[in-house]
């Protein structure tokens, strides 16, 4: 695990593999960390360089001292690319990672050569979702990150995964408990107030993989399909049986789709 200094403190990241093609940068979901990408790193690192950062307040990164917006996380990614000397990358994000990826496209589109949007959505939160994030932030402030186990597990994983895949369930719980309360509250505020990226979709000028789970109740197949239709050069893959963390719930088929996509880049 390495780290680099940003204007607001250190940011941890993992850096694996090598290859002549553009490196892959993968942005993690809320409320997890870069370890969620281990199944993809293991498969891809033989052919590509793979970089997976932890947002401030998640994993090994200390929490941010102020309330950030989504652009703040994208600026951290940009700083990491500068630190590592990466001119162009294939950028991927799952859930909150997709929100940050959209912010990266606004900030440095010329440095993105391919895009992976997993279990995410371009639109803003509904008023009900905004209130839900406020309530979640309040619970975490009062009770700690342990409250997220009750609040998030049924939303992150499909029922089949919760019943029959204890290894994935335990991994997700462990990553949730590695968050800091301040980092969680900051991220909830950033997601709650994120800008609408719907109009950005038609402007995406690089090959894009849109991939999600058939059982995802947050970023449903309909939402993902509609997003893919708006992106000029996108392919859409839905993984049967997977929920919101499709890269963990069906890592084999997720990896197959990702490798097939990357082979053309």
Instruction: Give the per-residue pLDDT at 74.
Output: 95
pLDDT of residue 19: 92
Q: What is the pLDDT of residue 51?
A: 97
Distance CA 228, CA 235 (A): 7
What superfamily would CATH give domain 2-263? Alpha/Beta hydrolase fold, catalytic domain (3.40.50.1820)
- Per residue in 7-32, pLDDT (tens digit) is 555 789 999 999 999 999 999 999 99
Q: What pTM does this model have?
A: 0.95
Q: How confident is the model at residue 39 (pLDDT cuts 50, 70, 90)?
A: very high
More confident residue, 62 or 224: 224
- pLDDT tens by residue, 46-105: 999 999 999 999 999 888 767 889 999 999 999 999 999 999 999 999 999 999 999 999
pLDDT digits 0-9 by tens, 147-205:
999 999 999 999 999 999 999 999 999 999 999 999 999 999 999 999 999 999 999 99
CA distance 154 to 149: 9
How does strand 9-16 pair with strand 2-6? Answer: antiparallel
Select from 93, 101, 51 the least CA-distant residue to 71. Answer: 101
Please tell me the distance from the alpha carbon of residue 52 to that of residue 54, in angstroms, as a whole number.
Answer: 7
At residue 11, the pLDDT reads 80
Distance CA 102, CA 74 (A): 9
pLDDT at 97: 98
- Please tell me the predicted confidence (pLDDT) of residue 168: 98
């Amino acid at each position: 695990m390495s780290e680099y200094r940003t204007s607001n403190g250190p940011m941890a990241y993992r850096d694996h593999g090598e290859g002549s093609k553009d490196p892959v940068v993968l942005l993690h979901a809320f409320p997890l960390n870069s370890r969620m990408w281990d199944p993809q790193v293991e498969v891809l690192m033989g052919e590509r360089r793979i970089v997976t950062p932890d947002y401030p307040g998640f994993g090994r990164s200390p929490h941010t001292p102020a309330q950030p917006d989504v652009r703040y996380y994208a600026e951290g990614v940009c700083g990491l690319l500068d630190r590592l000397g990466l001119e162009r990358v294939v950028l991927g994000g799952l859930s909150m990672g997709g929100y940050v990826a959209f912010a990266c496209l606004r900030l440095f589109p010329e440095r993105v050569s391919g895009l992976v949007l997993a279990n995410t959505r371009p639109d803003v939160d509904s008023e009900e979702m905004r209130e839900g994030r406020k309530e979640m932030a309040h619970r975490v402030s009062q009770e700690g990150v342990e409250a997220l186990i009750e609040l998030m597990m049924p939303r992150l994983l499909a029922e089949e995964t919760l019943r029959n895949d204890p290894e994935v369930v335990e991994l997700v719980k462990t990553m949730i408990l590695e968050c800091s309360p301040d980092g969680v509250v900051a991220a909830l505020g950033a997601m709650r107030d994120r800008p609408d990226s719907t109009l950005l979709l038609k402007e995406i000028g690089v090959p894009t993989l849109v991939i999600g789970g058939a059982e995802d109740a947050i970023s449903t197949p309909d939402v993902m399909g509609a997003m893919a239709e708006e992106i000029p050069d996108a392919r859409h893959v839905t993984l049967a049986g997977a929920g919101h963390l499709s890269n963990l719930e069906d890592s084999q088929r997720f990896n197959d789709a990702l490798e097939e996509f990357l082979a053309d880049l």
